[in-house]
Structure 1
Amino acid sequence: MNSIHEQQAEPMKKDLSGSEAIEKIRSIIDKAGSCFFVTRANFNASHKSRPMSVQKTDEAGNIWFLSAKDSVKNMEISQDTSVSLYFQASSYSDFLELSGRAVVSYDRAKIEELWDPMVKAWFTEGVNDPRISVIQFIPDTGYYWDNKHGNAIAGIKVLISAVSGKTMDDSIEGNLNL
């Protein structure tokens, strides 16, 4: 009889850095589109976690958001720039955690570059709404969980595992260093 340890497949570990890490970040964010944006400072027992739509992920791995100047989130960032982002792009793969710092600006050119008509739900005066600010998230480190062979193969392996009782782990995970 095999021990439990022998039946458990270990996920493949692959740390990524530099351009490879940025490519992984951009890939997952392109699929997810939004994240939980978590600040460290806390005002009046406010929630430090809130959903945010990503406007852009640039070639350097910076992640850009539009935010209200008067939001609690912006006030929290003014007290502590440390921020974490959490992404989930699908049920079985494409999980991402990033830690870094946030910088708030009021750059009109950047606001125009990042503007999307869907954001008008929050900024009713459109791209020229005086309440709009830009948040640039600059990642330092992160961690990802993914699968090696795509969701279809991962799904098949889950079904086979359920029927056979044997683990067929298709996961890959690792640190992201920027």
Structure 2
Amino acid sequence: MADTYTLKEHLWKKLENGPFTMVGLSDGNSHFEPLTAQLDKDQVDTIWFFIGKNNRLAKGGPAAVNFVSKGQDFFASLSGHATVDNNPAMIDKLWSNQVEAWFPGGKADPNLALLRFDIAEAELWEADVSLIGQLKMLFGGTIGPDEAGSHAVVSDTTI
């Protein structure tokens, strides 16, 4: 099994290639919604999201982020805590044309909020099915654990 640093590095690469996630509060009442992850390589235990101040996530609290990679071969379920953190330096650092498309007032848009998601735990799956496993799927065989890919639980995300 890979070490924590390698697992986080792998997750970050997958998120960079397709940053679309489902984010929700862990309050039992909220639905998850699609948001684009904003990554800061200086803060590898934090994922950022631009949201509207009126978004249901703006109240913050225990939250979760679910992610499926572009190739649908990597899955992540992250738990942690969400808070609005409108640090102007971080907004500047993460700002892009894609973000500006959602906030016509730019960085000074009165509805702009930057949601900070601090990762507490992560569960990761890599569906790296072997060639033999792929043949078994094609012809209805049973895939053994050594042919199915990998799974890791990371309960301490610090390096």
TM over 0.5: yes
- Return 83-92 or 55-64, whichever deviates more: 55-64
| Match among 21, 41, 50 for residue 66 of structure 1 | 50
Task: Quote the offset at 1:25 in angstroms.
Answer: 2.3
User: Quick one: structure 1 residues 94 and 57, their matched pair in 2 at CA, closer, same or farther if it must change by over 3 Å?
Assistant: farther
User: Quick one: structure 1 residues 26 and 120, their matched pair in 2 at CA, closer, same or farther if it must change by over 3 Å?
Assistant: same
User: Quick one: structure 1 residues 160 and 72, their matched pair in 2 at CA, closer, same or farther if it must change by over 3 Å?
Assistant: same
Work out which of the two has the higher radius of gyration on C-alpha atoms and give 1 or 2: 1
User: Quick one: structure 1 residues 92 and 40, their matched pair in 2 at CA, closer, same or farther if it must change by over 3 Å?
Assistant: closer
Count the aligned residue pairs: 152
Greater RCO, CA 8 A, separation 6+? 1
User: Quick one: structure 1 residues 117 and 92, their matched pair in 2 at CA, closer, same or farther if it must change by over 3 Å?
Assistant: closer
Unaligned runs of 5+ in 1: 1-13, 149-153
Indicate the SS of the match to 2:152. Answer: strand
Q: Distance in 2 between matches of 1:50 and 1:92?
A: 19
Indicate the SS of the match to 1:23. Answer: helix
2:8 maps to 22
- Whether contact under 8 Å (1:40, 1:48) holds in the other structure is no
Indicate the SS of the match to 2:143. Answer: coil
RMSD of equivalent CA atoms: 2.4
Unaligned runs of 5+ in 2: none
